[in-house]
């Protein structure tokens, strides 16, 4: 006679970067059901955005999440620029791509470190985070701050990257690539890592599409979809091929992020080489009016912003749909059938960013 117990996973748990609670119903050691409870980091950002000026909102939305902060600001600025019919200068578009891809790179380093830590592989965790420090130093030198870089503004970017800094970015990327070449094979080939991730947390392609999964969760299940294919900022000129794996398990999602890290390095190198001269910002005239939906690709998946403005200095409505919000139902579908010890690995494999989810 198997016994059912209810175990709360979270809200505080060593593997979780942010708090979420999963009430797990277990039969002996197997998970039968998982019910998520969210709301531990809700800060009312959408409401705050209605109270502040639309220019001040850039600083508000980039603080929704510290790991993907520039890309939040990018999506918001693109939405406002669309509502004010502003064309961003070419140099600004390429600079936005450079900072976005560096953000993606540091986010994947962060995640790879956390994923290694989830198995107790602490030395690999430290290696990935030490390599991430190289990227944080680049942000400090080019943007003035390590985490919330505040360089995107409505109409372009606030700072230019000088030629010496561009050379330094390329040099540091060589170092980052060399270190990835030694650490990623450890992550992907280690027998312990493979034993804990291969076949664990399976999400079929059908389920991924039906449940609206986003990002590496979607691409790890074989769906070739990446919001950067829309061609916003300078992605249209640089061209992007989505990184796809077909296995649908945690190992596949890990492999997608590893390959995306290399893809980001390549994108930054091409953007730096093709960086055009010119202005970095154009001052838009008037006030935003109308409604727009804009989508960008965060490290965790597709981010959707809906902005509604009525011509005043404050927005009428800002709606943010973050990728982890879309990935929680697939997570709840992946968990039944696994053992309790697999729950941290599966939860971390969707790359949960709960501050984004709860805004």
Partner 1 sequence: MIRNVLANVMHRPATRSAPATAVPIVPGYRGGVTFDHKECNFCGACATRCPANAIIVDRPGRHTEFDLFRCVQCGACAEACKRGCVQLATSYVPPVTAKPTIEYTERPVTEEQSER
Q: Which residues bind partner 1 (CB under 8 A)?
A: 52-53, 55-57, 59-60, 63, 130, 140-142, 144-145, 148, 150, 158-159, 182
Cα distance between residue 357 and residue 10, in whole Å: 16
Cα distance between residue 351 and residue 301, in whole Å: 10
CB of 162 to partner 1, least distance (A): 10
CB of 134 to partner 1, least distance (A): 12
Residue with smaller CB distance to partner 1, 283 or 285: 283
CB of 150 to partner 1, least distance (A): 5
Residue with smaller CB distance to partner 1, 5 or 162: 162
CB of 355 to partner 1, least distance (A): 16
Residue with smaller CB distance to partner 1, 9 or 121: 121
CB of 58 to partner 1, least distance (A): 8
Residue with smaller CB distance to partner 1, 138 or 211: 138
Residue with smaller CB distance to partner 1, 182 or 204: 182
CB of 109 to partner 1, least distance (A): 16
CB of 53 to partner 1, least distance (A): 8
Residue with smaller CB distance to partner 1, 140 or 174: 140
* 154 close to 80: Cβ distance less than 8 angstroms: yes
Residue with smaller CB distance to partner 1, 57 or 78: 57
CB of 223 to partner 1, least distance (A): 37
* Bridge partners of residue 35, in order along the sequence: 23
Residue with smaller CB distance to partner 1, 61 or 353: 61
Give the per-residue SS3 of the chain.
CCCEEEEEECCCCCCCCCCCEEEEEEECCEEEEEEEECCCCCCCHHHHHHHCECCCHHHHHCCCCCCCHHHHHHHHHHHHHHHCCCCCCHHHHHHHHHHHHHHHHHHHHHHHHHHHHHCCCHHHHHHHHHHHHHHHHHHHHHHCCCCCCCCEECCEECCCCCHHHHHHHHHHHHHHHHHHHHHHHHHHHCHHHHHHHCCCCCCCHHHHHHCCCCCHHHHCCCCCCCHHHHCCCCHHHHCCCCCCCCCCCHHHHHHHHHHHHHHHHHHHHHHHHCCCCCCCECCCCCCCEEEEEEEEEECCEEEEEEEEEECCCECCEEEEECHHHHHHHHHHHHCCCCEHHHHHHHHHHCCCCHHHHHC
């Amino acid at each position: 006679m198997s016994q059912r117990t209810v175990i709360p996973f979270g809200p505080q748990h060593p593997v979780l970067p942010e708090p979420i609670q999963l009430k797990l119903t277990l039969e002996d050691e197997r998970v039968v059901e998982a019910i998520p409870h969210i709301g531990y980091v809700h800060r009312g950002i959408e409401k705050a955005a209605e109270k502040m000026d639309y220019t001040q909102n850039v600083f508000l939305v980039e603080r929704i999440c510290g790991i993907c902060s520039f890309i939040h600001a990018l999506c918001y600025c693109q939405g406002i620029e669309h509502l004010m019919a502003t064309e961003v200068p070419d140099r600004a578009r390429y600079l936005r791509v450079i900072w976005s891809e560096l953000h993606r790179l540091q986010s994947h380093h962060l995640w790879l470190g956390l994923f290694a830590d989830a198995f107790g592989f602490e030395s690999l965790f430290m290696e990935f985070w030490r390599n991430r420090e190289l990227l944080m130093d680049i942000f400090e030198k080019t943007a003035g701050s390590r985490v919330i870089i505040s360089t995107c503004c409505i109409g372009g970017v606030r700072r230019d990257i000088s030629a010496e800094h561009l050379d330094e970015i390329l040099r540091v990327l060589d170092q980052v690539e060399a270190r990835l070449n030694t650490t990623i094979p450890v992550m992907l080939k280690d027998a312990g890592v493979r034993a804990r991730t291969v076949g664990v947390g399976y999400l079929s392609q059908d389920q991924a599409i039906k449940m609206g999964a986003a990002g590496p969760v979607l691409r790890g299940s074989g769906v070739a979809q990446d919001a950067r294919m829309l061609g916003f900022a300078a992605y249209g000129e640089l061209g992007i091929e989505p990184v796809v794996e077909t296995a649908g398990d945690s190992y596949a999602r890990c492999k997608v992020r590893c390959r995306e890290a290399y893809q980001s390095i390549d994108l930054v190198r091409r953007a730096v080489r093709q960086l055009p001269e010119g202005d970095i910002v154009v001052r838009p005239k008037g006030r935003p009016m109308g409604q727009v939906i804009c989508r960008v690709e965060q490290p965790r998946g597709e981010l959707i912003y809906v902005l509604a403005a009525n011509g005043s200095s404050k927005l009428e409505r800002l709606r943010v749909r973050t990728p982890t919000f879309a990935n929680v139902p697939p997570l709840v579908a992946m968990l039944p059938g696994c053992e309790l010890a697999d729950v941290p690995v599966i939860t971390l494999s969707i790359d949960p960013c709960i501050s984004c989810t709860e805004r």
